[in-house]
Structure formats: structure tokens, C-alpha cells
Structure 1
């Protein structure tokens, strides 16, 4: 029931809450598994804090759905995680994973705030943004102390201001001269997209390792290969400018083949990362000023889109794709009325 004159949720607010519920329920399963296996006394509290946030968020969103008489999404439950499965990741990978996913969360919460009009919904997402920022800060501090935080490349400080005086600055293709050096904006996006692809590649590889279904194994391995290909393209661009691309340790996945997560969950997770990657590429293309970089981001985005489409086909064929709330099909209602 609506309280007083409080307006109904808008379609955008319902979409934000539904998406948040799906993401938090997935994270809750993964973090619960992490808690069962983490040993590091510095990393364990970070995992616990992240897990507690997902529990609190799911409880708050459930209350909102019930108050609005909207069905609570199923999302992911205890049936999607096997806490008794052997360890799949090292503690350092768990920390890196949380640090990476908080970055995804920061972008998501910023978008959810901007799409929300009702005060209580805006307040919920502003608090979520602050909580996620604190978790990012804490996980970053620990990652730095353990020597696994990968910093963006350093460059020499500029000595003066300058202005672009030729359209050649925007060109990334030339048969007769070298491409202009990358600017800091372009470097930062190349660095970020290498980082996200490193995480995506490792997760896809681990999910292929534990899946009992051959078609899902192949799809996951394909995802890992796509990420590795994109890493090579972005890394070459940095190396051509004498900039060392970011690297990370490969000691993150154990040899366990017992699945702690349902295929439904792992497919959703990779779809989430694919969507985030497409958004990152679009932002990078818009921010970059060299035409070859823009072209790379655009063509690689198409590859991600096709990969995500093939994954969605697998999810639908298994009946795992939960449908977001939508409007009523008026034509179908009319046809039923006439029958």
C-alpha cells in the first residue's frame, strides 16, 4: 500500500531495484562461498563487510517491493551456491575480485541515483554509493599493502599548457608519419579496460573449469579467449607508446573441478561483466581522441555483444532467465477480452 501522498515507483526506479536485487543476490552467493574458504586475517574482514552489505541491501529491497505490492524477484538463492565445495580461488584473488566489483558497483549506483526521483529511493542508493566507496577504499588499502594493487602507468609531469593546433591530432592512421603519442585520458581507459578484461578472463576460465555442461564450458572458454585478445590489443597500443601495460599474478584459481556455483549464476555473472565491459568501451570511445582507438573500441564492442547474445540464448534455453518487470501487453488483453 502507498503511504500518504507518496507517489508510485517509476519504471526507472522499478528497473533499478530489480537490477540491484539480482546483482546483490548473486554477490551474496559468491561472498558466502568466499567466507567459507578465506584464511587471511586482513582479507577476511573485507569479505565479511561485503557480504553483510549484500544481506542488508536484499533485506531493504525486499521491504520496498512488499510495500509497493510488487513481486520480489527470485534472483539467486542458497540453491545456487554449494558452500561445501572445495576452495576455488586464493585469498588474494578474492580481495582483487571485491576491489574490482566495487568499481562496477560505484558506476551502477551513480546511474541508479540519477534515474531515481522518489526521496527514499534516492536515499537508499546514495547510502549504497557511500558504502561501496568505503569498501573500495578499504580493499584498495589492503591490496596496496600486499603488493597486488596494480597502479595505472606513470608519465612525466607536463611542463606547460598546450592547445591542439591541427586536425592530425585526431587521426590514428598515417602512412607517412608516426601516430601521435597517447594522452593521459586515452592511457587511463586502456589501462582500465585491460584490468577489467584480466578479471573477466580469469573468472570465465574458473567457470569453465567447474561447469558440468560442455556447451557452457565452451562458451566460458570463448569468453576467456576474447578477453585475452582484447588485452593483447590494448597492451600493444600502450607498448607502442613505450608504456608498460598492467599485469597481475596468475596464481588465483585452484585445480578444483567441483562447482560451488550454479551454471545459472555463472552465466548471469559473465553477462553482467559483458554489459559493464560494453559500457566501459563506449565511455572510452567517447573520451578518446585518436581515431584508431575509437575504431578498436567500436569493433570490439560488437564482439562482446555477440558473445553476450550467445550466452543469453543458453540461459533462455535452460529456462534460467528471470524476466524484468514490464508493461502490460494491451493488444493481448484486448484479444483475451474478445474471446
Structure 2
């Protein structure tokens, strides 16, 4: 059987559908950002990200047509108001694209691992290579501009050691002494400080440019949750006198003009919350101190509840596009009953 005649698996269908939705959303955001960026170093990076998402969207459209795969509605020019005044500073745009590229590295890696057909694997592998290139460019420019805070420093280990007590895993009991957090735990705590800081800025910009009260209230709730989580992670680091490097103060404007559709903003929030839950799950699994991992589990539940309320808003307003799924056999059977 030739490659083109091999049917797509459910995993490949899911990955392709998700990528189309994500890229169509990214095109809208990046297109708007591009028209206001002045920095000669940052603008080419945003242009590269825009071109990459646009090309992927077109390539996916061509693939869907060959496979007789219904093209998702996704997002288009109707979801962005190109006449709106500037909303994000050049520095924020760079950091935002850097965050998207980090998410993309994980996403494309997962897509490659779940795909079997050679042409699909090659498509996702190329996307992974492009996203890696984008990430490296963003990091280099952010470094030069002082926008790339480094993770906290600790002493380099001079000798190896083994855990010699079950107490190493403890941390919940308030009457027992906690061990200092290790490098793995520090890395995840600080990474989640940074991602929540980006989420906080995004939710503020969405809240002030939406005219939908329900969406505004959701964004404010999301902002408050991000601030709460940042404080918990920072306090955990400070307990062991580990200073958290300050993230750069990247601004958003005071514009209240509708910039993005509520549908697009809520979709973007669904991506951020999903990424956050994934980050917390990874961090919980990697953290060996019980109180740290328990915090992640507790905060994951809070984030999941936020995501559920966001999905409810999207369903209520007919904004939530349904992913491809298995046929409802019971419905098919009932449709043929006399």
C-alpha cells in the first residue's frame, strides 16, 4: 500500500486538527502584533513566527483536501480587528512568542511520537525543527535586551550522594523539618512563575478589550489565580532563601478597543490553561518533596475548574469547535429503527 493510501490514525487526525486550530489562532495574534512592532530586532522574529504559522495552515489545508478531511473553521480575519490601537509592547510580543515556542517544542515532540505515517512524521519533524530555530532566536535576542531572566543559581555539586532516609520525601507534616528543595524542584517552580506571569498579562489585556461581561469576569478570575499561584511558588523558593529573579516589566497598553473576538480569546485561554495543567503534572511527578508535589496537584485542580468554566462559556456561546471523534454507534442504530 502506498503512503498516500494509508489511512490516517485517530492520533494523526487529532494532532493535525489541533495544529490547524492552534496555527489559525496564532496567525490572528501575530498578524495584529506585526503592524505595531518598531524594534528592528524583534520584528523579524515575529514575522518568522507569523510566516511559519501561515505556511503550516496552508499545508494543513492542502493535506485535508487530499485526505477528504473536513477543514476546521478555526479562526480568520473576522477574529481580529486590525484597526484597533496597539495593545502589546514590542518586548511583550517577543516574550509571548518565546512562550509559544516552548509550548510548540513539547507539542511537536508529542505529535511526532504519536504519528506513524511517514509524510505526517516528516511534517511534524519539520515543524519541530522550525520551532526549535524560533525558540533559539527568541532566547538570543531576549538575552541581549535583558528580557531573559535566568533561573536561580545554586552551587554546582562537588560529589555524588544517595537518599538515605524516607524523610527526603516528606514535607507535609508541619512539625517535622523539611529538607531544602532540590535543583529539579527549583527549576519547575521558577518555570511556573514565568508562565503564570505571562498568563497574568494576557488575561488583563483580554479583560480590558472584551465587551462581554461574562468573558471579562472569567479573565479577571484567571488573572487572580495566576497571581495566587505565582505567590505560592515564590514563597516556596524563599523558604530556602532562593531569590526569584524578577521577570521583565513588559507592558500592555490601556486600550479598551475590541481587538480579538471573544471566541479567539477564550480559545487562547483554553490553550494556556491546558499547558498550565500539563506543566503542573510534569512538575508534580518530578518533585520529590511531598508538600511541593501536593501543591501542584491542588493548583492543577483549581486550574482545571477554571478551564471547565471557560469551556462552559464557549459552549453557551457556540464558540467551542468540536474535535473529530468516533461515530456514535448507538445513534446510528437508532436512526435505522422502525
TM-score, length of structure 1 as denominator length: 0.97
Q: How does 1:295-314 map to 2 (within 5 A)?
A: 295-314=294-313
Deviation per CA, 1:185-230, whole angstroms, max 9, x where unpaired? Answer: 0000001111110011110111001000111101000000000000
Q: Distance in 2 between matches of 1:130 and 1:188?
A: 24
Q: How does 1:64-103 map to 2 (within 5 A)?
A: 64-103=63-102
Q: Distance in 2 between matches of 1:289 and 1:327?
A: 39
Q: Distance in 2 between matches of 1:4 and 1:250?
A: 50
Q: How does 1:1-339 map to 2 (within 5 A)?
A: 6-339=5-338
Q: Secondary structure at the match of 1:207?
A: helix
Q: Is the 8 A contact 1:195 1:246 kept in 2?
A: no
Alpha-carbon spacing, 1:158–1:189, altered in 2? closer, same or farther (3 Å): same
Q: Secondary structure at the match of 2:39?
A: coil
What's the CA shift for 1:251?
A: 4.0
Q: Secondary structure at the match of 1:37?
A: coil
Q: Distance in 2 between matches of 1:5 and 1:200?
A: 41
Q: Distance in 1 between matches of 2:139 and 2:296?
A: 28
Q: Is the 8 A contact 2:284 2:296 kept in 1?
A: yes
What's the CA shift for 1:159?
A: 1.4
What's the CA shift for 1:78?
A: 0.5
What's the CA shift for 1:5?
A: 6.5
Q: Is the 8 A contact 2:3 2:118 kept in 1?
A: no
Q: Which runs of 5+ in 2 are unaligned?
A: none
Alpha-carbon spacing, 1:334–1:232, altered in 2? closer, same or farther (3 Å): same
Q: Secondary structure at the match of 2:336?
A: helix
Q: Is the 8 A contact 1:28 1:51 kept in 2?
A: yes
Q: Is the 8 A contact 2:196 2:230 kept in 1?
A: yes
Q: Distance in 2 between matches of 1:4 and 1:119?
A: 7
Which segments of structure 1 move beyond 6 Å, counting only runs of 4 or more?
Answer: none
Q: Is the 8 A contact 2:75 2:264 kept in 1?
A: yes
Q: Distance in 2 between matches of 1:48 and 1:328?
A: 40
Q: Distance in 1 between matches of 2:143 and 2:149?
A: 8
Q: Is the 8 A contact 2:85 2:257 kept in 1?
A: yes
Q: Distance in 1 between matches of 2:119 and 2:283?
A: 33
RMSD: 1.2
TM-score, length of structure 2 as denominator length: 0.98
Q: Is the 8 A contact 2:3 2:119 kept in 1?
A: no
Q: Is the 8 A contact 1:194 1:246 kept in 2?
A: no
What's the CA shift for 1:250?
A: 3.5
What's the CA shift for 1:247?
A: 2.3
Q: Distance in 2 between matches of 1:175 and 1:260?
A: 48
Deviation per CA, 1:205-263, whole angstroms, max 9, x where unpaired? Answer: 11001000111101000000000000000000001111112322334110000121100
What's the CA shift for 1:150?
A: 1.3
Report how many residues are paired. Answer: 338
Q: Distance in 2 between matches of 1:5 and 1:189?
A: 42
What's the CA shift for 1:34?
A: 0.7
Q: Is the 8 A contact 2:79 2:260 kept in 1?
A: yes
Deviation per CA, 1:272-311, whole angstroms, max 9, x where unpaired? Answer: 0000000000000000000001110001000001000000
